[in-house]
Amino acid sequence: MPHPIGGISEAEVKAKADAAWPEILEKATNWKPAKTELPPQKPPYPAETFKFKGTAESVSQLYFEKGWSLGLPINPPTPEAVEAMLKGTSRKPDEILGKVGPRDSNLTVELVAVNAVMAGCKPEYMPVLIAAIEGLLEPKANWNGLNTSTGSLGFLVIVNGPIAKEVGITAGQGAVGAEQYANATIGYAINLISDVVGGSRPGTGDMTTFGAPHEFVAWVFAENEDQLPKGWTPYHVGKGFKATDSVVTVMGVYPGVDHVDHGATTMDGYLAGWKTVRGGGGCFRSNGATITQAIVFGPELAKFAVEKGLDRDGFRQAFWEASKIPYSEIDACVPKSQVEPLFGAVGPDTLIPITDKPETLHFFVGGGAGKHSHIFTGFQADSIVSKLVTK
């Protein structure tokens, strides 16, 4: 079905449907099994090897031309390097973790190691990388949808527990910026696996309209557990894990939106500043009521919660209430048909929240000094997944 699909008249919709219908009918009623033999499937393990003589630069060029990289330089995944990477996990190299779409390719632990080598990971990162991959393979994460959407989608990966410090995943100043080696290489490996194993290439599978830098390197950081407000437990504890567990939380997201507030001196003043903030891809007020939102506060801003002795759930409720705005401010872009099934009859003064319910909001503390927060809008409802890290 050719684009555009949305934002067109009823007559244009009908014309597109009428044009498509004969082929749909033909395919549905006259299909017959192919008489030709399908080519034999290659076993997912072991990965094929080949010999190549050249420089590191020529290896990177070869991999790009073959569709085996994203265009950034890669480290050659020699058998020796892959074997060394596999020593970072107790998982067997022939274990199939799942299928990555849109190509539905089998992803083995060995292939994770191959891409980890290419991205520059250290062997000790493997348990974190595998946990992130297992999270993305959960059906509700909808990895296939992320790989084929027209949206500028990427991955948000947040690490809790002792493994973050053990392997050097940073949580403080500039955690997802430059020079954060573990964060960056893990993020690069995830995207290599997504595109190369999954077969998500621009225009053939990956249908993103514009794309974004986080399609090269995923957002990877640890929650800043040392700077949590008094009375707050780490995010993973609220999800039912033990404080001593290491946990990776993943979600497909639109580009994060930086919210800055240098003026607020109280929690109420700070929360009032969120009334007009919209996450990338739109929040309830412009895209969808039940879309998961992840909000990462800098430690200075998170401490506002201490004023009223609010725990994480209490702060979430206060945030949700404070972010409501009158329907008259958004009626031009949000039809009543979208909000009335949730809130009943809507008038100009009806207060509309950022999402349909507080539980759709997920809060983390990350980064260092400065009054900045980021809001990440998820790809769909209930799309955030947390996985225990096992070595």
Domain ranges of the chain: 56-388
- Assess whether pLDDT exceeds 80 at residue 290: no
**282 CB neighbour count, 10 Å cutoff:** 15
Confidence of residue 287 (pLDDT cuts 50, 70, 90): low
Cα separations (Å) of 248 from 111, 141, 223, 232, 383?
20, 13, 10, 19, 14
Confidence of residue 134 (pLDDT cuts 50, 70, 90): very high
- Assess whether pLDDT exceeds 80 at residue 109: yes
- Assess whether pLDDT exceeds 60 at residue 176: yes
Q: What does 35-87 look like in DSSP terms, one character per residue? A: -SPPPPPPPSSSPP-----S-HHHHHHHHHHHT-S-SS------HHHHHHHHT
Per-residue model confidence (pLDDT) at position 165: 97
- Assess whether pLDDT exceeds 60 at residue 389: yes
* pLDDT per residue as tens digits for the range 211-263: 999 999 999 999 999 999 988 999 999 999 999 999 999 999 999 889 888 88
Q: What is the pTM of this model?
A: 0.92
Question: What share of the chain has pLDDT > 90, as a percent?
Answer: 67
Per-residue model confidence (pLDDT) at position 323: 85
- Assess whether pLDDT exceeds 60 at residue 285: no
Q: Do 249 and 157 contact (CB within 8 A), yes or no?
A: yes
Q: Which long-range contacts (CB under 8 A, 24 or more apart) does 238-241 make?
A: 238/312, 238/313, 239/386, 241/160, 241/161, 241/386, 241/388
Burial class of residue 187, CB neighbours in 10 A (0-12, 13-18, 19+) = buried
Average pLDDT of the chain to the nearest whole number: 91
CA pair distance 284, 346, nearest whole angstrom? 15
Confidence of residue 197 (pLDDT cuts 50, 70, 90): very high
Mean pLDDT of 98-118: 97
* pLDDT per residue as tens digits for the range 260-284: 888 888 888 888 888 877 666 555 5
